[in-house]
Amino acid sequence: MRTIEATGKTIEDAVRSGLVRLGLMEEEVTIEVLAEPKSGFLGFGSKPAKVRLTEKARKNAPIYDIEEEERKAAPPAEPKAAEAAPAEDVTAETPEEPVEEPAAVEAEPAEETFTAEEAAAKAKAFLQDVLRNMGIEVMIEKMIKSDKIILHLHGKNLGILIGKHGQTLDALQYLTNLTTNQGEETRHFIMLDVENYRQRREETLKQLAVRLAGRVKRSGEKVVLEPMNGYERKIIHVALQNEAHVRTESEGQDPYRHVVIYYEK
């Protein structure tokens, strides 16, 4: 089990920073407050809040490890990182093809009490605060679509924000959505992406699905993948929906929900 200490202006900020570094949700850790924040006098003698986060014990891992399969395939070329710059808002002009997202919010009435632009600004402010506390500078590119708001993060050495199989990025995305939609009647889904990681990961999962389907057809035995979030599970299901002699099912409970590929005559 991993244990880290994190600091922030408030206890909440310190916890958020620690969760991002661990790539975990709040319910997956135990939190110990080591020091309360102190404001000091006229700015002097102030001290940040300090907490210790310890990862809770998890259930046994599924029998199939995606990381092992990914090593067998040639890794996609890493794009050249953009020069790090103070976080700024850049609106992309070229629209992307819509990607169906399980967590996408259904269309709201014409008059929104909390617009997508306001949600994007709120999400950006939250990210700036968290990343500033982590000592990371990024450029944030905003893209507003009908079903989601995509915030692309560009900068140097941003691998720490991705984590193993995107776990840290998913945790940061979860916290961003939680903070952005808190107290609002209209809800918006915020998707975070770091240097086009989501697109590269999608291609990897599609290729993985095809390889595993072939393995299932040859052996006649099911293959159990490791836990994935809903977005990645959907990529596997869609990639194999028209594949003959195999079917896919999502099984288990979050955060251990995973895809199983079955042989079907």
What are the pLDDT digits (tens) for 189-245? 999 999 889 889 899 999 999 999 999 999 999 998 888 888 899 999 999 999 999
Instruction: Give the Cα separation of 203 and 25 in Å (integer).
Output: 26
Domain 197-261, CATH = 3.30.1370.50
The DSSP bridge pattern shows strands 246-251 and 49-55 to be unpaired
Q: Could you check whether 114-194 and 197-261 share the same CATH topology?
A: no
Strands (E), 11-138: 29-35, 49-55, 89-91
| Per-residue tokens: 55 | 């990862």
Write the class of the CATH domain 114-194: alpha beta
pTM for this entry: 0.57
Domain limits, the chain: 1-53, 114-194, 197-261
What are the pLDDT digits (tens) for 171-195? 999 999 999 999 888 999 999 999 8
DSSP state of 151: E
Let me know: does 5 contact 51? Beta carbons within 8 Å.
Answer: yes
